[in-house]
Amino acid sequence: MPKNTSMAHDPSTTKDADALRAIEPDKLTEAQARREHRALGAEIAGHDIRYHQEDRPTISDAEYDALRRRYEAIEARFPELRSAESQSQRVGAAPAEKFAKLRHRVPMLSLGNAFADDEVMEFVARICRFLDLESPPAFTAEPKIDGLSCAIRYERGKLVQAATRGDGEEGEDVTANVRTMRTIPQTLRGDVPEVLEVRGEVYLRHADFAAINARQVEEGKPAYANPRNVAAGSLRQLDPSVTARRPLQFFAYAWGDVSSLPAATQSGVVKAFASYGLPTNALMRLCATPQEMLAHYRLIEAQRSSLGYDIDGVVYKVDDLALQRRLGFVSRSPRWALAHKFPAEKATTVIEAIEIQIGRTGSLTPVAKLNPVTVGGVVVSNATLHNEDEIARKDIRVGDTVIVQRAGDVIPQVLGFVPEKRPVPEPRRYEFPKLCPACGSHAVREVNPRTGKEDVIRRCTGGLICPAQAVERLRHFVSRNAFDIEGFGAERIELFHKEGLIARPQDIFTLEERDQHASPRLMEREGFGETSARNLFAAIAARRSVALNRFVYALGIRHVGEATAKELARHFGTAEALQQTAIAAQDRSSEAWNELTSIEGIGEVVAEAVADFFGEPHNQEIVTELLRQVTVTPLEAAATGSTVTGKTVVFTGSLEKITREEAKAMAERLGAKVAGSVSKKTDLVVAGANAGTKLAKARELGIETIDEDAWLKLAEA
Ligand code: IVH
């Protein structure tokens, strides 16, 4: 074994160290143990770097294990030597019962996607337009690793915390598990910022995946579907010693909370990460033109099968961090980055049946039940057929052999059938049901009054009398990102709905009170006991206070996902204000309609859906009743401390240093609302050159007005 490779020693102390190494752990004095513990820790850390980051181990695995065993034996005798960054914390910390939640100081976002080269060109063009640049800026291009993202916080160079992405706002505390990963340094080298939250991807190599699966099969256990699942399962292990046995890898490619940055470019920061001892990806390139970006994509695609780990595309990022800052974000993704995905993977199999699923808005979705088949490493037995027209256009019939495609996380889809394999005699053409299979109501395709076109989706007209729709709506209402009521799974909702205990969302909050006089009481019902009834009531009570964005999302308005719900919450501040405006917006020539359509991230289709939802008396009733039952708290402001947070800003005239789009995005980022016209509700008017009537109106109403430079100063403050 090469001795003390990681330490610079003068010869006399090396001799001492050798002598020390010969003493059995239980014979060491306390002072000797302290010295030996420190020496072993440094030595193990050095081996970890050579093994994982430099790919040049200098000792065998057995020798490495012997070092660790000795290290742990010393700690077992002298537990006071153990500290948070001790090497032994990399294995064997006590299993936790449940992960603690950690709120990300800077949200963890996702990426916009592109499949075609054109979309990449459009992405670059959009950036040029937004920034008013004549030629494209430089971009980095790097592999998109198919693992799971993780945020690792270092303070004064020491690893202090690690969290999974979770929903992007809040993740799980996986510090104990990340400490067991040999590839991740406990301590960073060099001149490191005081606070550095490194973000990157945790993943598993193909070879390690195959070995783990071989062991599973040997032990008679089911094989894992793909490396990503194993990586996720290993990182989210309550027992860190399980994580320690899985050779998880990591690439650092981004950052969250930092006290300062070591460079002014994306590539420069990642280079600095590498110098701190963090693993980074060698395939990252700086590209000066869109042509170079696409060429690098082709190069990575060509190497894909020989990389030894799964990747699902290439990520492009604007290199200049000042430009990244100016570009900012649209809902959940940065404007300055894009994931260029590889084409999806395909397989063929037989359709055994076509089933209809009913969504919470009554949509009838055809689902192909397939003879299970592996597509890109995942077993697929259901695939979407999209809608009635798609089935007819592709002429897909039960019994057909079909091509199934799966791309990333999206639901697998049926591309078409294989004519040579159609059974003889031919199966009958598939006839799409005209009645809802769940409630028997007519299922119709609405005609858009403006375009005169039929909607592609057939919808059940049963509304809340349709059990499938009502149950789906309720399920959505209590789901994790909506009201998040624990212990309210699909089966319970279905049961409560069938038994007439809960028909509408507001009934959830009167359940306990009604139960006092009910017969049988909930705790007397089958499958319930006193504890589970009490737990459910407690879980419901805990959600009597809810953030506005969750409240809006829970309503299940068509087209309103989490990001849109946040935009609405940010803009309106209260549920009452949203409801009032949306009701007034029934008149499409009203100020209310203008307000709704001028919100960042909300186009006509969404505005239409919001107005339609609140236009329905039964929805108004649901909202009003709910507001009687629960307290709605505001969304946390995007940024606090700015003088414009919560204010309404209007931009007018022509801006010279930034584009109108950029100005609007800036204001939204500071937590301000941007309106299209000046009214009594306006707090600030930013007037560019040649501002006209809006500026005049602002002056008339006595509203504060500033010029472009003053705006930029205010926004930077
Ligand atoms: S950058 C603000 N770079 O892809 C942008 N993400 O679809 C932060 N991912 O959640 C992400 N490889 O888990 C970035 N080289 C890479 C990546 C990468 C994989 C994952 C990451 C992210 C997801 C978005």
226-236, pLDDT tens digit by residue?
Answer: 888 889 989 98
Instruction: For residues 582 and 575, give the distance between their C-alpha atoms in angstroms, rounded to a whole number.
Output: 10
Options 27, 101, 144, 647, the catalytic residue: 144
Residue 28: half-sphere exposure toward Cβ, Cα within 13 Å: 24
Residue 334: half-sphere exposure toward Cβ, Cα within 13 Å: 20
Instruction: For residues 223 and 406, give the distance between their C-alpha atoms in angstroms, rounded to a whole number.
Output: 20
Residue with tokens 């039960």: 398
DSSP secondary structure letters along 174-241: -HHHHTT-TTS-SB--SS--SEEEEEEEEE-BHHHHHHHHHHHHHTTPPPPS-HHHHHHHHHT-SSHH
Report yes or no: 711 and 686 within 8 Å, Cβ to Cβ. yes
Q: Residue 465 has what pLDDT? A: 80
Q: Residue 1 has what pLDDT? A: 36
Residue 144 is a catalytic residue: yes
Residue ID of nearest Cα to ligand 1 atom 12 = 144
Q: Residue 399 has what pLDDT? A: 97
Q: Is the pLDDT of residue 596 over 80?
A: yes
Q: Is 704 helix (H, G, I), strand (E, B) or coil?
A: strand
Of all residues in the chain, the percent with pLDDT exceeding 70 is 92
Q: Is the pLDDT of residue 161 over 90?
A: yes
The burial of 627, by beta-carbon neighbours within 10 Å (0-12 exposed, 13-18 middle, 19 or more buried), is given as middle
Q: Residue 13 has what pLDDT? A: 55
Q: Is the pLDDT of residue 314 over 50?
A: yes
Report yes or no: 342 and 397 within 8 Å, Cβ to Cβ. no
Lowest mean pLDDT among 84-98, 375-389, 424-438: 84-98
Ligand 1 neighbourhood includes 75 CB (under 6 angstroms): no
Report yes or no: 650 and 624 within 8 Å, Cβ to Cβ. no
Q: Is the pLDDT of residue 149 over 90?
A: yes
For residues 313-324, give the mean pLDDT.
Answer: 97
Instruction: Identify the residue with better confidence: 342 or 643.
Output: 342
For residues 230-246, give the mean pLDDT.
Answer: 88
* Residue 510 tokens, joined: 């009167």
The pair phi, psi for residue 497, each rounded to 5°, is -70, -45
What do you get for the CA distance between the two ends of the chain, in Å? 58
Q: Residue 243 has what pLDDT? A: 87
Instruction: For residues 634 and 575, give the distance between their C-alpha atoms in angstroms, rounded to a whole number.
Output: 9
Q: Is the pLDDT of residue 543 over 80?
A: yes
Give 554 Cα–ligand 1 centroid separation in angstroms.
28
Q: Alpha carbon of 549 to those of 171, 174, 323, 541, 553: distances in Å? A: 18, 27, 30, 19, 6
Lowest mean pLDDT among 130-144, 327-341, 367-381: 367-381
Q: Is the pLDDT of residue 102 over 70?
A: yes
Residue ID of nearest Cα to ligand 1 atom 18 = 144
Contacts of 680 (CB under 8 A, 6+ apart): 701
Ligand 1 neighbourhood includes 626 CB (under 6 angstroms): no
Instruction: For residues 5 and 32, give the distance between their C-alpha atoms in angstroms, rounded to a whole number.
Output: 20
Residues in the chain: 717
Q: Is the pLDDT of residue 426 over 90?
A: yes
Instruction: For residues 164 and 174, give the distance between their C-alpha atoms in angstroms, rounded to a whole number.
Output: 7
Q: Residue 4 has what pLDDT? A: 39
Ligand 1 neighbourhood includes 111 CB (under 6 angstroms): yes
* Top-ranked range on mean pLDDT: pick from 265-269, 503-507, 628-632, 633-637: 265-269
Contacts of 442 (CB under 8 A, 6+ apart): 434, 435, 436, 460, 461
- Over residues 550-571, the pLDDT tens digits come to 999 999 998 898 889 988 998 9
Q: How confident is the model at residue 675 (pLDDT cuts 50, 70, 90)?
A: confident
Ligand 1 neighbourhood includes 146 CB (under 6 angstroms): no
Instruction: Return mean pLDDT, the chain.
Output: 87
* Top-ranked range on mean pLDDT: pick from 418-422, 555-559, 655-659: 418-422
Q: Residue 93 has what pLDDT? A: 36
Give 105 Cα–ligand 1 centroid separation in angstroms.
18
Q: Residue 48 has what pLDDT? A: 66
Q: Residue 55 has what pLDDT? A: 43
Q: Residue 280 has what pLDDT? A: 97
Q: Is the pLDDT of residue 143 over 50?
A: yes
Residue ID of nearest Cα to ligand 1 atom 17 = 144
Give 391 Cα–ligand 1 centroid separation in angstroms.
35
Q: Alpha carbon of 423 to those of 398, 400, 426, 427, 538: distances in Å? A: 10, 7, 6, 7, 56
Give 400 Cα–ligand 1 centroid separation in angstroms.
38
* Residue 195 tokens, joined: 């606070």
Ligand 1 neighbourhood includes 151 CB (under 6 angstroms): no
Residue ID of nearest Cα to ligand 1 atom 6 = 144
Ligand 1 neighbourhood includes 150 CB (under 6 angstroms): no
Q: Residue 716 has what pLDDT? A: 77
Instruction: For residues 259 and 193, give the distance between their C-alpha atoms in angstroms, rounded to a whole number.
Output: 6
For residues 398-415, give the mean pLDDT.
Answer: 83
Lowest mean pLDDT among 41-45, 207-211, 398-402, 710-714: 41-45
Residue ID of nearest Cα to ligand 1 atom 9 = 144
Lowest mean pLDDT among 137-141, 617-621, 671-675: 671-675
Residue 46: CB atoms within 10 A of its CB come to: 15
Ligand 1 neighbourhood includes 149 CB (under 6 angstroms): yes
For residues 394-400, give the mean pLDDT.
Answer: 96
Instruction: For residues 710 and 705, give the distance between their C-alpha atoms in angstroms, rounded to a whole number.
Output: 10
In ligand 1, which atom is closest to the CA atom of 337? 5
- Over residues 246-276, the pLDDT tens digits come to 999 999 999 999 999 999 999 999 999 999 9
Q: Is the pLDDT of residue 573 over 70?
A: yes
Contacts of 39 (CB under 8 A, 6+ apart): 4, 7, 17, 20
Q: Is the pLDDT of residue 94 over 50?
A: no
- Over residues 56-67, the pLDDT tens digits come to 557 765 577 678
Give 405 Cα–ligand 1 centroid separation in angstroms.
23
For residues 585-602, give the mean pLDDT.
Answer: 89
Q: Is the pLDDT of residue 300 over 80?
A: yes
Q: How confident is the model at residue 50 (pLDDT cuts 50, 70, 90)?
A: low
* Closest of 106, 134, 132, 131 to residue 326, by C-alpha: 131
Ligand 1 neighbourhood includes 339 CB (under 6 angstroms): yes
Q: Residue 229 has what pLDDT? A: 85
Give 253 Cα–ligand 1 centroid separation in angstroms.
8
Give 314 Cα–ligand 1 centroid separation in angstroms.
10
Q: Is the pLDDT of residue 96 over 60?
A: no
For residues 190-201, give the mean pLDDT.
Answer: 97
DSSP secondary structure letters along 581-604: HHHHTTSTTSHHHHHHHTSTT--H
Ligand 1 neighbourhood includes 113 CB (under 6 angstroms): no
